Amino acid sequence: MRKNWLIASLYVVLWMVGTGSVAAEEHDMSMSGDMNMSVAMHQQVKSDMKLELNGKPLQLDESYLIDNSLFVPYRAFAEGIGAEVSYEASTQMVTVKKEGMVVQLTIGSSEALVNGSSRMMVGPAQLINSSTFVHSRFLAEVFGIAVQYDEATRTVNLVSDTGLSTANPVAKTYYVNIEGFQFKGGNITVEAGSTIVFTNKDKVKHNAVAVNGSFKLPLLATGESGRITLTEPGAYVYFCEPHKNAMQAVITVK
């Protein structure tokens, strides 16, 4: 009788060990899948787009599409548009200077300093193959260079001589990241005709709705973007519809 009890106990122990191994294996596989998904979400796609500055090819070794935005090596791009560049390794800060304008970018951050004022980019400056890559449209438009895209030839045309005076500034694209239940970079002053792109980086849905009813974005899921274009001067107070009491900001159009 005691012998049968011992054999039964041994079977129970072996069954529990086997179940634990399977569970551990499934947990490892799940973690591996999550890690692979995370890596895939952050993978860069090498771009075949061509860049031209005032009709002449801009020589870049490589460029990448990240979330459908073109990222280029900052040094080659900045020098190509006639800017001075420097890099501080201790702070991982990139500095680009051109005609009295100073732009500072920090690797891993979506926030840029333009003459000391905070501006948000569509994505952070980042290292790819040991080179620093930045969002091409942001860096171009900060220095007053218009960006045009020819889909037929997959060519990004940069036009620095727009013929517009400072009294009629070039309309630009501005970026507002929705993160941590905040409109980061959301209190901004823009030129009439400018486009503002909102990107949701939170795990809950957000949108942007003007108090005066001039614009209303649909609810954006994680990673989704929406854009508006404001042509009339004025102050546009806006909020997130599901989180109205916590999330408000103002866009001033001049």
| Burial of 81 from C-beta contacts in 10 A (0-12 / 13-18 / 19+) | middle
Residue 253 contacts residue 194 (beta carbons within 8 Å): yes
- Bridge partner list, 175: 197
Average per-residue pLDDT in the chain? 80
Last residue of a domain, one of 115, 132, 159: 159
CATH of the domain at 135: 3.30.457.10
Give pLDDT, residue 175. Answer: 86
> Tens digits of per-residue pLDDT, 2-15?
555 545 554 544 44
User: CA torsion 156→160→162→163, rounded to 10°?
Assistant: -160
Residue 9 belongs to some domain of the structure: no
Domain count of the fold of the chain: 2
User: Is a pLDDT exceeding 80 seen at residue 244?
Assistant: yes
Is the same domain home to 150 and 202?
Answer: no
Residue 8 belongs to some domain of the structure: no
How many CB atoms lie under 10 A from the CB of residue 19?
Answer: 10
Is the same domain home to 146 and 226?
Answer: no
CATH of the domain at 206: 2.60.40.420
Is the same domain home to 84 and 126?
Answer: yes
Is the same domain home to 184 and 139?
Answer: no
Is the same domain home to 154 and 60?
Answer: yes
**More confidently predicted of 234 and 152:** 234
Is the same domain home to 154 and 188?
Answer: no
Residue 67 belongs to some domain of the structure: yes
Give pLDDT, residue 4. Answer: 53
Residue 164 belongs to some domain of the structure: no
Q: In degrees rounded to 5, what are phi and psi of residue 44?
A: -100, 145
Is the same domain home to 124 and 198?
Answer: no
Residue 4 belongs to some domain of the structure: no
Whole-prediction pTM? 0.56
Is the same domain home to 138 and 243?
Answer: no
Sheet hosting strand 225-230, strand order edge to edge: 183-184, 173-178, 194-200, 225-230
Is the same domain home to 96 and 202?
Answer: no
Give pLDDT, residue 43. Answer: 60
Last residue of a domain, one of 125, 159, 193: 159
Residue 16 belongs to some domain of the structure: no
Mean pLDDT over 149-164 rounds to: 75
Is the same domain home to 150 and 211?
Answer: no
Is the same domain home to 73 and 151?
Answer: yes
> Tens digits of per-residue pLDDT, 175-234?
899 999 999 989 999 888 888 989 999 999 999 999 999 999 999 999 888 989 999 999
Residue 27 belongs to some domain of the structure: no
Last residue of a domain, one of 107, 131, 159: 159
Give pLDDT, residue 203. Answer: 94
Domain holding 155, by residue range, is 45-159
Is the same domain home to 128 and 202?
Answer: no
Residue carrying structure tokens 């634990």:
20
